[in-house]
Amino acid sequence: MKQDPEVKTMANILLARNMATSLGGSSRALSPKSDRIRFHQIRTLAKAILIGGQSYRNEPYSKLSLPLYISSRTLNEGASGNQFIFNQNPEWLIDRALSEQGYPVLIEGGVNFLSTLITHSLVDLLYITRVDQDGDGHFFDQSNLLKNYERQSIEVIDGASFESWGVKLKSSD
């Protein structure tokens, strides 16, 4: 896996067959070994990780060595070690992380966090893992993905589909 110098923002999301992003409250229950390997490969490209408060509360981020930027309306703002909590929107968080850490930044935030950024085409490169299993929560509506992005690649490993999506080029009429 190689870093594209034009990519400032990347995101990673796991989607179940029914477009859920979690099972039993976490994405880990849906994630096959091949996804976890790819997940860590993508992380090696990043200068910082961005998430929402819900991901922070539900996923294991305590041992992360990269700077972690958290957007939350309910957590108290502040910094502890390499974790930075802000009561700001995801767009603001991207600007802050890019200015402080450089690029690319990796957005691992949950479906609500990521959907806003996809709607506004603020993710340069989106990695999607699709698994042939149903989840039970945090459903992803891919209508804005299909409207604003185009699939660049697809690879199937051990039954999981790994896709990369980039922003559609706007045609000048």
Per-residue pLDDT of the chain (173 residues), as tens digits, is 566 668 999 999 999 999 999 899 888 889 999 999 998 999 999 999 999 888 888 777 878 889 999 999 898 999 988 999 999 999 999 999 999 999 999 999 788 889 989 999 999 999 999 999 999 999 999 999 999 999 999 999 988 999 999 999 865 55
Give CA separation, 146 vs 104, 141, 142, 164, 166, in Å.
23, 10, 6, 13, 11
User: What tokens were used for 3?
Assistant: 């870093």
Is residue 120 assigned to a domain?
yes
pTM: predicted TM-score of the whole model, two decimal places: 0.89
Is residue 173 assigned to a domain?
no
Is residue 139 assigned to a domain?
yes
Domain range holding 120? 9-167
Q: What is the CATH number of the domain that holds 50?
A: 3.40.430.10
**Nearest-5° Cα angle at 84, 78 to 90:** 110
Is residue 95 assigned to a domain?
yes
The secondary structure of residue 142, as a DSSP letter, is T
78: CB partners within 8 A, 6+ apart:
84, 85
Domain total for the chain?
A: 1
